[in-house]
Amino acid sequence: ATLQALADLRADFPLLDQTVNGHPLVYLDSAATAQRPSVVLDAERDFLERRNAAVHRGAHTLAAEATEEFEQARAAVARFVGARPEEIAWQLNATDALNTIAFAIGAASRGRGGGAGSEGITARRFALHPGDELVVTEAEHHANLIPWQELAAQTGATLRYVPVDDDGLWTIDDARAVVTDKTRLIAFAHVSNVTGMVAPVPEMVALAASVGALTVLDACQSAPHRPLDLDALGVDFAAFSAHKMLGPTGLGVLYGRRELLNALPPGRTGGSMITTVTMEGAEFLPAPQRFEAGTQPVSQAVALGAAVGYLESAGRDAVLEHERALAARLYDGLAGIPGLRLIGPGAGAERAGLVAFDVAGVHAHDAGQYLDSRGIAVRVGHHCAQPLHRRLGLTASVRASVYVYNTEADVDTFLEAAAGIRHYFGL
Ligand code: PMP
């Protein structure tokens, strides 16, 4: 029933109604970027046509209206992920949000102080020293790897990682073997953008708590697709991107527990984030403004507010069930095609709405071009996870990913084409 209910949503997405290379478009690349429904496009346009103004500054009517709408969007996004509005700071994208956390911890490590209202927590809580350890997994997107490499290099801390197995998977026991009382921060993806594995978040949070480490959750592939309650999960920080959840590009979300955000020194400084400035120094506003230096992506935030409203009315459990059903169909179909090696959890195991695979004897880019010639959009390459691909003995893979607007027919069209890839290349 849910499948049929959500199939009707497809008509809300104008972009999907087109032909590509003479075939009706089959869009299976939502893990890279999602398409936007008319209500999201209209919300941004309507804001720009009627209420656009600089927020938090002007005394004029438009400025007040724009500010109210901007803050309503923040509140909507906060509700959507189980956070308070002041725990949500706008950023350029998820990559930027992760860098913001790393910059702030770097500043604390250089002895910069945090702000007021930090509930007993001071910036020293975050300072890293030689001998301290940061932990990530071998499956991370580069966005949740390189900022920690850089932070380690700046502070003398050591970056360690939870290794993955031959399918690209890791377990809580693998993490327990790496985390020690030297671990100060653990950063990991809630859902892998390559394997589709769902991380054991509560167990990871408990593991971090047992050694007093901070947790950073890369929620890029979870926030758009499954119910998410960051407060209940108990993570310290999280990051996700608007463009993967039916919203615009140019907008990412940083989540941090209020008392932590307020205790951190900002990594970036400038206008709109201060209380007092002299020629000698500055005092900073509490979160979220202390992490929002300069003019913000206001119309984009308004559009994201509309996007989360759309996802809520679709029903977040319904979205998850819809994607589970399509992912199972994708997985089972691909598993039945000779010459394909599927990455990630096996048949029947929990996986997000994506499947990455290698085609024996065919480069992923060639496979992608063949599929494109049939109107099918998939992702090819290392998906910003080179270490993971290297561990799997691959340089690239093909990834098909689904979202609310995909149908069983999309999956079946893709599977029929996928079954012909090796034949097309003479294998
Ligand atoms: N982490 C994961 C798991 C992702 O899938 C992505 C996007 N591919 C990112 C981080 C980075 O997102 P963005 O490029 O929007 O900053």
Task: Read off the pLDDT of residues 285-328 as tens digits, 9 standing for 90 and up.
Answer: 999 999 999 999 999 999 999 999 999 999 999 999 999 999 99
Mutate to test the pocket of ligand 1, among 96, 140, 141, 216 (most ligand atoms within 8 A of CB): 141
CA of 144 to the centre of ligand 1 (A): 8
The residue annotated as part of the active site, out of 377, 384, 415, 419, is 384
Q: What is the pLDDT of residue 6?
A: 78
Q: What is the pLDDT of residue 119?
A: 74
Which residue bears the tokens 């979870």? Answer: 222
Q: What is the pLDDT of residue 5?
A: 65
Q: What is the pLDDT of residue 113?
A: 85
Contact 323 CB / ligand 1 (< 6 Å): no
Q: What is the pLDDT of residue 76?
A: 98
Measured CA to CA, the distance from residue 38 to residue 391 in angstroms comes to 41
CA of 386 to the centre of ligand 1 (A): 14
Q: What is the pLDDT of residue 115?
A: 73
CA distances (Å), 71 to each of 65, 66, 86, 293, 302, in order?
Answer: 10, 9, 10, 16, 9
Decide: 407 and 10 in contact? Cβ < 8 Å: yes
Contact 155 CB / ligand 1 (< 6 Å): no
CA distances (Å), 347 to each of 25, 142, 212, 327, 328, in order?
Answer: 28, 27, 37, 10, 8
The pTM for the full model equals 0.97
> Which residues neighbour 11 within 8 Å (Cβ) at sequence distance 6 or greater?
17
Residue 90: enclosing H or E segment and its boundaries? strand 88-91
The low-confidence residues of the chain, meaning pLDDT below 70, are 1-5, 116-118
**Is 220 one of the catalytic residues?**
no
Decide: 84 and 75 in contact? Cβ < 8 Å: no
CA of 141 to the centre of ligand 1 (A): 7
